[in-house]
C-alpha cells in the first residue's frame, strides 16, 4: 500500500467510506425495515395460530357441552315427570302424600287445597309454586322416616314450617304413648300446563 500515491490512497479511502456509508444506509433503510416487518408478520402468524388453537379447543368443548346439555335435559325431564303438573296440583299432592302415608304408617287427617305462592328465586323459572300444609298423627320413628322421604324424595319440595306435639289430646293410652301429632307446611314446584308457558 505504500507504493500507492497519495491521490490513489485518497480515492480508495473515499470509495471505502462511501461503500461503508452506502452499506450502512441500505442496512438501516431496507434490511432493518424488512426485518421489522418480518417480525411483525411472525407475531401475527403466532397470534393467528393461538386463535386457531383456542377455536379448535372451543369446538371440542362445544361438543362436550352439547352432550352435557342433552343429559341435563333428560334429567330435568325426569324431574318434571314426577312434579305436579297442570292446573290441579291438589290431585298430584294427594297421590304423592297417600303413597308416603301408606309406606310409613302415617295418618294424614287434614290437607286443604294448596295455595299459589310467588317464587323468590333469582332466576326466572318456568314453574309456579304452591304452598301446602297437612296435619296428622304418627309414631315417632314412622314420622321421622316420612319426613325424611318427603324432603329427600323430590328436589322440588321444601319444608317451610313444622310443629310437633308429643301426644294426642287428652291422656294417651300405653299403645299411643309414642304417637305424636304434627302440622307441617311445605312448598312444591308445579309445572304449568303446556298452554300456560
Q: What's the CATH number for 85-196?
A: 3.30.70.60
Give the pLDDT score at 40: 92
Give the pLDDT score at 167: 66
Give the pLDDT score at 7: 86
Give the pLDDT score at 122: 63
Sequence-ordered list of residues with C-beta below 8 angstroms from that of 163, at least 6 positions apart, any chain: 182, 183, 184
DSSP assignment letter at 31: I
Tell me the whole-structure pTM to 2 decimals: 0.58
For each successive 10 residues of the chain (197 residues), what is the average pLDDT?
79 90 86 87 94 90 90 87 77 86 88 80 76 90 89 83 76 66 89 66
Rounded to 10 degrees, the C-alpha dihedral 138/139/142/148 comes to 70
Give the pLDDT score at 114: 84
Place of cell 320413628: 141
Task: Give the integer Cα–Cα distance in Å for 127 and 192.
Answer: 6
Sequence-ordered list of residues with C-beta below 8 angstroms from that of 87, at least 6 positions apart, any chain: 193
Give the pLDDT score at 97: 86
Annotated domain spans of the chain: 1-82, 85-196
Amino acid at each position: 500500500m505504500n507504493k500507492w500515491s497519495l491521490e490513489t490512497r485518497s480515492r480508495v479511502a473515499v470509495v471505502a467510506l462511501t461503500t461503508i456509508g452506502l452499506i450502512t444506509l441500505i442496512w438501516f433503510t431496507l434490511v432493518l425495515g424488512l426485518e421489522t416487518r418480518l417480525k411483525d408478520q411472525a407475531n401475527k402468524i403466532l397470534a393467528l395460530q393461538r386463535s386457531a388453537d383456542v377455536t379448535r379447543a372451543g369446538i371440542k368443548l362445544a361438543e362436550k357441552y352439547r352432550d352435557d346439555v342433552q343429559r341435563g335435559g333428560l334429567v330435568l325431564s325426569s324431574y318434571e315427570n314426577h312434579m305436579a303438573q297442570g292446573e290441579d296440583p291438589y290431585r298430584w299432592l294427594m297421590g304423592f302424600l297417600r303413597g308416603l302415608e301408606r309406606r310409613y304408617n302415617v295418618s294424614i287427617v287434614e290437607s286443604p287445597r294448596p295455595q299459589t305462592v310467588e317464587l323468590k328465586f333469582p332466576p326466572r323459572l318456568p314453574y309456579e309454586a304452591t304452598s301446602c300444609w297437612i296435619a296428622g298423627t304418627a309414631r315417632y320413628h314412622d314420622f321421622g322416616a316420612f319426613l325424611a322421604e318427603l324432603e329427600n324424595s323430590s328436589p322440588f319440595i321444601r319444608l317451610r314450617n313444622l310443629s310437633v306435639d308429643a301426644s294426642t289430646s287428652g291422656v294417651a293410652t300405653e299403645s299411643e304413648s309414642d304417637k305424636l301429632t304434627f302440622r307441617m307446611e311445605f312448598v312444591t314446584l308445579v309445572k304449568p300446563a303446556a298452554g300456560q308457558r
